[in-house]
A and B are shown apart, each in its own frame.
Chain A
């Protein structure tokens, strides 16, 4: 196409000139756009199988529509409702126990004046964040083993009968949440430490002049100063409430503990990937995604209103 055929009036010309001049930017943009289209947007098209009687042979497009049948089945199924309850329970429990820990740690780290001690301790508590889920699971299984594990060895020392922790439904959540805290509390404290570093030093100086103790300064200056960060992190957590670390659950749980351990994502994995019930599992996933979307959007709106900082 030669230049003469381009209409000489208005927008098209400018557009043509723009692409002629700036084509390189679009070349740089293209791989990313293709990747997002192929790997994230194309599966959204595939989500329609949640409303279809999907058959591998007919493919996504040609499988017959069946409306909300899968959703009706799901909400009538004990297993799915149990997974829903467990997801909610596990995330609420990890919110209650896991969320305050990094804040407490950051406040405590801030009070340490010995820099060598502080840096060493920080280096160590950040480390578990970089350790694979499978290794965490391996450590848990070894440590809580009824015969070989250190936990039962200690219990025996106190004259308590060994407990086979990993097949006891009542022990699954404490172990799961505990290992989550062990892995992430240290690393999550970085955000709060950064917030503490931003507190105006003159606040402390005048407090010292007034004869405030360190305990008082922590409560009356440091904590209120990092409150906005705490609120934002809390909102992010609530927005991601459904994101339970299901990879750890997959390695740790077994049929004996499904009762308390099976969450939506592990349910989807079993039904879909292992059981090949793709359509039903996709429906469960869609429900999960929609609830998550509503939670994130709500969280962002609240954050915008109260802290005037939107999360994105």
Chain B
């Protein structure tokens, strides 16, 4: 800012207008969150009448009381944690060793295996054959099925393989001298050196699991196994044609709008808690993703 005085008058104007526009964009990004939070803390009838703008109207926590007293909300919340952490763990078990093997120059058929993985980025069988395959494998309606079927993808493997390949050979030489085998080299040399890349993959896996709803919706029939997003989707479906629900709760201090908003806020909170920790990996992750095969 010290050289601000060096700017010409036109430059100053440019800087201010630019800052104002960015501030505007930032506010419009933030606004829906503020709006949803305000709705969730508002009185049901006020929210249904559309009087909420940016702060709660007739503040009440009755929507949260209703949500938190729903057993299915808690079940689905716990399920989401199972899918997120379990799924990410299984993903790492497949991705890290696979990426390591692909990065080894002595691997016979290395070109073939790389193509085997990369080809799936360009061509995939699509929704229906994948769905039928899961059914034929007996993976429908199970925690394990949903976790294993989406454990891996070519992008994450190539990202990590590139990172492994860029590690200079000198790092593993000392370990080899001590007679370390491949498992030990991977565990003691490559994994510690690849923390940023692995953190990025953990980030991608966790975000995908936390937010995913489509396949969970298709694969899971048992309500006790659904994740939060599928539960939220069911509530939203009632919001879309809310006649019935609306009449049902007419006399309460919450409405279908405030209840939905409350679930959404509850679902965003963990993301907000983790957000500061994952932020530093954004740039790295994106740049790693941009590296060509």
Contact A36 B120, beta carbon cutoff 8 Å: yes
* Stretch of B61-69, B95-103, B166-174 on the interface side: B95-103
Contact A289 B123, beta carbon cutoff 8 Å: yes
- Cα distance, A155 to B184, chains bound together (Å): 65
Quote the shortest CB–CB distance from B291 to chain A (angstroms).
10
Q: Is B286 an interface residue (CB 8 A)?
A: yes
Q: Is A147 an interface residue (CB 8 A)?
A: yes
Q: Is B82 an interface residue (CB 8 A)?
A: no
- CB neighbours of A292 from chain B (8 A): 122-123
Q: Is A160 an interface residue (CB 8 A)?
A: no
Tell me whether A42 and B117 are in contact in the complex, defined as CB-CB below 8 angstroms, given that A31-B98, A215-B10, A285-B125 are known contacts. no
Q: Is A311 an interface residue (CB 8 A)?
A: yes
Q: Is B141 an interface residue (CB 8 A)?
A: no
* A289: contacting residue among B100, B125, B181, B263, CB under 8 A: B125
* A148: contacting residue among B123, B257, B263, B287, CB under 8 A: B257
Tell me whether A289 and B124 are in contact in the complex, defined as CB-CB below 8 angstroms, given that A153-B51, A194-B287 are known contacts. yes
Contact B214 A44, beta carbon cutoff 8 Å: no
Contact A286 B126, beta carbon cutoff 8 Å: yes
Interface string of A135-166 (1 = CB under 8 A from B): 10111011101011110110010000000001
Contact A147 B48, beta carbon cutoff 8 Å: yes
Contact A268 B128, beta carbon cutoff 8 Å: yes
* B232: contacting residue among A130, A138, A281, CB under 8 A: A138
Contact A254 B240, beta carbon cutoff 8 Å: yes
Q: Is B277 an interface residue (CB 8 A)?
A: no
Residue of A nearest to B122 (CB): A296
Tell me whether A31 and B18 are in contact in the complex, defined as CB-CB below 8 angstroms, given that A134-B233, A251-B233 are known contacts. no
Interface string of A155-183 (1 = CB under 8 A from B): 01000000000100000000000000010
Quote the shortest CB–CB distance from A307 to chain B (angstroms).
11
* Stretch of A2-10, A21-29, A80-88, A90-98 on the interface side: A21-29
- CB neighbours of B149 from chain A (8 A): 39
Contact B29 A215, beta carbon cutoff 8 Å: no
* Residue with the greatest number of chain A CB neighbours at <10 A, chosen from B8, B14, B19, B157: B19
Q: Is A75 an interface residue (CB 8 A)?
A: no
* A26: contacting residue among B10, B23, B53, B101, CB under 8 A: B101
Interface string of B102-114 (1 = CB under 8 A from A): 1010111000010
- CB neighbours of A265 from chain B (8 A): 127
* Residue with the greatest number of chain B CB neighbours at <10 A, chosen from A32, A105, A124, A269: A32
The total of interchain contacts (Cβ-Cβ below 8 angstroms) comes to 279
Question: Helix, strand, loop or mixed for chain B's interface?
Answer: helix
- Cα distance, A101 to B98, chains bound together (Å): 37
- CB neighbours of A215 from chain B (8 A): 10-11, 14
Q: Is A111 an interface residue (CB 8 A)?
A: yes
Quote the shortest CB–CB distance from A140 to chain B (angstroms).
9
Q: Is A38 an interface residue (CB 8 A)?
A: yes
Q: Is B175 an interface residue (CB 8 A)?
A: no
- In residues 179-232 of chain B, which contact A (Cβ within 8 Å)? 181-183, 186, 207, 210-214, 218, 229, 232
Q: Is A220 an interface residue (CB 8 A)?
A: no
Quote the shortest CB–CB distance from A40 to chain B (angstroms).
5
Q: What are the 9 closest A-B residue pairs judged by CB atoms, nearest first?
A: A32-B98, A285-B126, A29-B101, A43-B125, A132-B211, A43-B129, A24-B182, A28-B97, A46-B129
Besides the known contacts A47-B126, A127-B29, A213-B10, 16 further A-B residue pairs in the complex with CB atoms under 8 A apart? A18-B106, A28-B97, A28-B98, A29-B97, A44-B129, A47-B129, A113-B15, A135-B264, A145-B257, A152-B50, A153-B50, A215-B11, A272-B127, A289-B123, A292-B123, A296-B122
Provide 27 A-B residue pairs closer than 8 Å at the C-beta atoms, listed in order of the A residue: A32-B98, A36-B116, A38-B133, A117-B22, A126-B282, A133-B213, A134-B232, A135-B229, A138-B263, A139-B32, A141-B240, A142-B260, A148-B49, A150-B52, A187-B282, A190-B283, A191-B286, A247-B214, A268-B128, A272-B127, A272-B128, A273-B127, A282-B126, A286-B125, A288-B126, A296-B122, A312-B293
